[in-house]
Structure 1
């Protein structure tokens, strides 16, 4: 499977935009020090003891970030940030559907939250067409790094990100958002990382641009550990 990233904020009765961005940036910096992704893959041959997906440790302070309300934006058109080189970005808005035509993905989103043990909960392990987003970080299209995770398979069949490795530089995908807009992203590159050497700061680190990371499992399935050995990460930016 694939799903074990962090968690996201929102506007509303909250501090000033500058203070909000500062809080999120600090949380991401802390998360980069402790977060490693462990995305579950059922592997068709391990239905007897696949077990639940393993989730990464989460930042304790993340729960202090305000929740994202389902409010519609009055201006959903991409605009270029005043910050030099920041690129286009959209106002904050919850993602509702991921569309990747090249690999036939048309999937709804679910929020990924932190469980009582302090780990980020992955998407339900048996739902083959569902992606999760780190609902206490940046929304897709907003300036910063948004995290989207999905399973590569379940104990019984391929799942939503089974074809993620087919994406190449220049390929495009969209995120339909609650404000009615669609954020279009272009793939920069894809990489696989050993789970015990996952570069959290590189994958989760905040950026001035609106970027997205699509994450799933890769490598081979370790039956003893009940997990895949690697994570595949697709790096992409808003266009």
Structure 2
């Protein structure tokens, strides 16, 4: 059951990882929408991705750190909902992210999935600044075995819900890869966030 087809997770996080309600609420001044990635951070040619590290044995992750955007958050396990989409962390816990525990663990061969809220009704949440990441930024994942898997960002992209590329995001990989996902792609009062920000990364080290 550990690898129940990653591509069967259909458009997992659209709308569910952000409310945007705080953008519309009263306050001392205008609220700032979360940053969105520029086209320059799109997926590079494979030839640009030179440094790789050997795969690690399976071990559940416990924490994710992204120093460039000041993320340091515990990880909880996420399952699929009855509808086949990925469940999400409790919205009230702003500094909490989750990983798809029926899939690949971060650091082993395959595609590991981490998701977290961009905001909640009170304001920015754990992955509010995910769209500001740049290629080459480091992502560190603490593992239950005491090790740390270190990933390098290959690309940061934003997709509208109708164009979400399930295979590209969730498809199997021949090396250890990581996807970090939150809401993004603009905001509408009637439908909420219009899509998702997705970070693509691969394993470049461990300690």
1:152/1:201 CA distance change after superposition, 3 Å: same
Q: Quick one: which of 170, 173, 182 aligns to 2:136?
A: 170
Q: 1:93 deviation in Å?
A: 0.3
1:232/1:118 CA distance change after superposition, 3 Å: closer
What is the alpha-carbon distance in structure 1 between the residues aligned to residue 153 and residue 193 of structure 2? 24
What is the alpha-carbon distance in structure 2 between the residues aligned to residue 145 and residue 163 of structure 1? 22
Please list every run of 5 or more consecutive structure 1 residues that lacks an aligned counterpart in the other structure.
Answer: 1-7, 10-23, 48-85
- CA deviations on 1:125-182 (whole Å, 9 max, x unpaired) are 1111000111101000010000000111111110000111121111111000000000
Instruction: Report how many residues are paired.
Output: 178
- Normalised by the length of structure 2, the TM-score is 0.79
Q: Do the aligned residues in 1 keep the contact of 2:12 with 2:86 (CA within 8 Å)?
A: no
Q: Do the aligned residues in 1 keep the contact of 2:97 with 2:114 (CA within 8 Å)?
A: yes
The aligned residue for residue 136 of structure 1 is 102
Q: Do the aligned residues in 2 keep the contact of 1:37 with 1:195 (CA within 8 Å)?
A: no
1:177/1:189 CA distance change after superposition, 3 Å: same
Helix, strand or coil for the counterpart of 1:89? coil
Q: Do the aligned residues in 2 keep the contact of 1:36 with 1:195 (CA within 8 Å)?
A: no
Greater mean deviation of Cα atoms: 99-108 or 111-120: 111-120
Q: Does 1:236 align with 2:201?
A: yes
Q: 1:45 deviation in Å?
A: 3.1
1:117/1:198 CA distance change after superposition, 3 Å: closer
Helix, strand or coil for the counterpart of 2:124? coil
Superposition map of 1:125-204 within 5 A: 125-204=91-170
Deviant stretches of 4+, over 6 Å: none
1:35/1:216 CA distance change after superposition, 3 Å: closer
Q: Output the aligned Cα RMSD.
A: 2.2
1:89/1:201 CA distance change after superposition, 3 Å: same
Superposition map of 1:1-239 within 5 A: 9=2, 24=3, 27-29=5-7, 31=8, 34-38=10-14, 39-43=16-20, 44-46=22-24, 88-225=54-191, 227-239=192-204
1:182/1:40 CA distance change after superposition, 3 Å: same
Please list every run of 5 or more consecutive structure 2 residues that lacks an aligned counterpart in the other structure.
Answer: 26-51
Helix, strand or coil for the counterpart of 1:202? helix
Q: 1:28 deviation in Å?
A: 2.5
What is the alpha-carbon distance in structure 1 between the residues aligned to residue 149 and residue 91 of structure 2? 27
- Normalised by the length of structure 1, the TM-score is 0.69
